[in-house]
Structure 1
Amino acid sequence: GKAKELIYTCATVKADEALKIGLVNKVVALESLMEEAKNMAKTIISNAPIAVRLCKDAINRGMQVDIDKAIEIEAEDFGKCFSTEDQKEGMEAFMEKRAKNFSNK
């Protein structure tokens, strides 16, 4: 596929092409790069820290194994996430239509 072609040929890709082929999620002007990065970071850190960590874990470990093991890892991490106080807080905040206040527990 395209990824192999880019790797094997050491080709460079312009921003618009990288966006078109899914190599990047967003293209921004250089002047707004830091603002965009900070906005994404703010969005990520507004989520439950445990959930973010477990998502990262499932992705990283899941990429190293076959699909059956990856599904097992995802289910395991989902179970860990679902048993946290932050999960309860997130659901309550959603139901009560209020801001979430995660405790990292």
Structure 2
Amino acid sequence: QKKAREIWFLCRQYNAQEALDMGLVNIVVPLEQLETETIQWCKEILANSPMAIRCLKAALNADCDGQAGLQELAGNATMLYYMSEEGQEGRNAFVQKRKPDFSKFPKRP
């Protein structure tokens, strides 16, 4: 919070190394390497689970996006649940008008 106040109140311009030292940026590369580095980061991100990335993005943005962000986060969590074997058992039991059997699923706090 101290550094944020300094930045806002003093309105100084910072170079790339200073921004890196303050944690405002993740990496500094020469301009001619910027596109290559960006593409590499994108490839690394895209190699991960799409659902995990989607949920992580929604979780990180939820507080800034207000009600819409919370709804997106909840929607992603609901979709993830219904794609699970446990969620499918619940849905199938509802459609088949029977009591669901959740006994084979681990109980977690």
TM-score range, shorter chain: 0.5 to 0.7
Aligned mates of 1:19, 1:82 — CA distance in 2: 39
Structure 1 runs not aligned, ≥5 long: 66-73, 86-105
- 1:15 aligns with 16
Report deviation, 1:40: 0.3
TM-score (normalised: structure 2): 0.57
Residue identity over aligned pairs, in percent, reads 36
- 2:25 aligns with 24
Matches within 5 A, 1:15-94: 15-62=16-63, 81=80
Which structure is richer in relative contact order (CA contacts within 8 A, separation 6 or more)?
Answer: 1
TM-score (normalised: structure 1): 0.59
Structure having the higher Rg? 2
Change (3 A) 1:82 1:28: farther
Aligned mates of 2:22, 2:82 — CA distance in 1: 38
Structure 2 runs not aligned, ≥5 long: 67-72, 85-109
Give the number of aligned pairs.
79
